[in-house]
Structure 1
Amino acid sequence: MTEFSVIEKRARELVGGKEALQSQLISPEPPESLAMIGDDRYLSVMNRRVFRAGLTHRLVDQRWPAFEVAFADFDLDTVAAFDDTDLQRLARDESLIRHRKKIFAVRDNAIAMQKIVEEFGSFGFWLAEWPEDEIVDLWQELRRRFTQLGGNSAPAFLRMCGKDTFLLTDWVVRALAHWGVYEGRTTSKAALAEIQTAFNDWEEATERPFCQLSQILAFSIN
């Protein structure tokens, strides 16, 4: 497997140097910060990601204050208690995004999050405790428990709320193939396990978080 120093050197060359690269890299939130975020905020971010999928992010973000009002600031108990009539009304509300399946997914996700809170005390604590060296398992768990978090939505949600994760964007997948790390479909358990191992090895060698490793990979190819 290509040493990450080689990949990072190429990324620096393409973006204009060490400082230019570093200025574009993000940092994850520490576990203690993740544990302190309220469940309502996680529910809000999760469903914002659900609505962003397939739509312009700016459009969703512009509408999100109206979603906060419509869904009672995403209070878990309140949203979980919405009945079908409430959701059908919201699915016709022109101040929101009128996507019936995603509107109904908000309630489904509130109910699913309640179960985690009942078991672990808070969603943030559950998220913070999940080890990054098994992050693809967390993707699968989110997809299993929640609605409309398929594809890249689960890792994108984690990135939005600050949990350290790599993303398998088109650029990252192309870079993995370019550097001889992994080539082929990235959806099987075997493929994800192989890619997780590569990121684990790079994290140990560089002491960089996964989010930065995947950014540098994306920057390392034309």
Structure 2
Amino acid sequence: MRDYKWLHEYCLNRFGSAAALEARLPEALPDEALRAISDDRYLSMISLRVFRAGLKHSLVDAKWPAFEQVFFGFDPEKVVLMGAERLENLMQDTRIIRHLGKLKSVPRNAQFVLDVRQEKGSFGALIADWPVTDIVGLWKYLAKHGSQLGGLSAPRFLRMIGKDTFILSDDMVAALKAQGIVDKVPTSLKERAAVQAAFNQWREESGRPLCQLSMMLAYTVNH
């Protein structure tokens, strides 16, 4: 694989200047900001990610105020009490997206948030304290304990809330293949560990967060 110096120079050549490059790169929130986000906001963002999956984001976002209403502001202690009958009734509510499987995920994820709160004090503590040097471990944890957070949903949720992560987008996977780090979409623990190790090396070389390195690497794919 190439070192960070090559990656940086490639992106500088593509965009023409350091300022033009920096303007395109995302920022991750500091740990204290992630810890300060309330549990209801985490549940809202988890749910938003679940409903966005496979749907046009603007469509989901436009309906989200109605979701906030029907799910009690995503207060996990209230949402967890919503039973099957209540969810079935929501299937008649035209203000929201009526997808029963996704609707069922909301109280399940409310229980997940409450379980984490009991163990860690808050969901934000889990997110803030998880080391970015093992961000793929956090993906696995969210997919295992949450509902409908497999595939790219866990890393995309983390990006939405500001937790530093890379995302295995199509361009990213193509770039990882070009670097000889993987030969296909990394799905196994071994393959994802190899990707994590590569990002840890670039992070150490550059001092940049994973989210910026992820986007820079994706920019090396020619369109």
Report the TM range for the smaller structure's normalisation.
over 0.9
In the TM superposition, what whole-angstrom CA distance separates every residue of 1:94-152 from its partner, at most 9, and x where no partner exists? 10001000001001100111100011110001111111101100000000001111110
Distance between the aligned counterparts of 1:153 and 1:198, measured in 2? 22
8 Å CA contact 2:72, 2:79 repeated in 1: yes
Match of 1:82 in 2: 82
- Is the partner of 1:220 in helix, strand or coil? coil
State TM-score, norm by structure 1: 0.97
Distance in 2 between residues matched to 1:15 and 1:71, nearest whole Å: 44
Matched, 1:35 2:31: no
Match in the other structure for 1:174: 174
- Separation in 1, partners of 2:15, 2:149: 32
Name the SS of the counterpart of 1:192 in structure 2: helix
Say whether residues 1:12 and 2:12 are aligned partners.
yes
Tell me, in whole angstroms, the C-alpha distance in 1 between the residues paired with 2:148 and 2:83: 19
CA distance in 2, matches of 1:122, 1:75: 13
Alignment coverage as a number of residue pairs: 222
Aligned to 1:25: 25
Amino acid at match of 1:3: D
Q: Distance in 1 between matches of 2:53 and 2:185?
A: 21
Distance 1:173 1:192 in 2: 11
Counterpart AA for 1:204: E
C-alpha deviation, 1:12, in angstroms: 2.2
Offset of residue 178 of structure 1: 1.6
- Distance in 1 of aligned mates of 2:171 and 2:185: 14
For the 8 Å contact 1:15–1:219, the answer to whether it is kept is no
Q: In the alignment, is residue 98 of structure 1 matched against residue 98 of structure 2?
A: yes
Please list the CA deviations of residues 15-46 of structure 1 after superposition, one character each: whole Å capped at 9, or x if unmatched: 33321111011110000111111000000000
Q: Deviations over 1:58-111 (max 9, x none)?
A: 111101000000100000100000111111111221100010000010011001
SS in 1 for 2:110: helix
Distance 1:11 1:164 in 2: 20
TM-score (norm 2): 0.97
- Runs of 4+ in structure 1 off by over 3 angstroms are none
Where does 1:1-222 land on structure 2 (aligned, <5 Å)? 1-222=1-222
Question: Taking CA–CA contacts closer than 8 Å with sequence separation of 6 or more, which of the two structures ends up with the larger relative contact order?
Answer: 1
Work out the percentage of aligned pairs sharing the same amino acid.
Answer: 44
For residues 5 and 163 of structure 1, the distance between their equivalents in structure 2, rounded to whole angstroms, comes to: 25
- Alpha-carbon separation, structure 1, partners of 2:181 and 2:9: 17
Q: For 1:131 and 1:100, how far apart are their aligned partners in 2?
A: 35
- Amino acid paired to 1:106: V
Alpha carbons 1:80, 1:108 under 8 Å: kept: yes
Deviation of the 1:13 alpha carbon: 2.0
Structure 1, unpaired ranges of 5+? none
- Contact 2:173-2:185 at 8 Å conserved across structures: no
Letter of the 2:76 counterpart: L
**1:220 to partner: Cα distance:** 1.5
**In 2, Cα distance between equivalents of 1:132 and 1:92:** 42
Tell me how far 1:9 sits from its aligned partner: 1.4
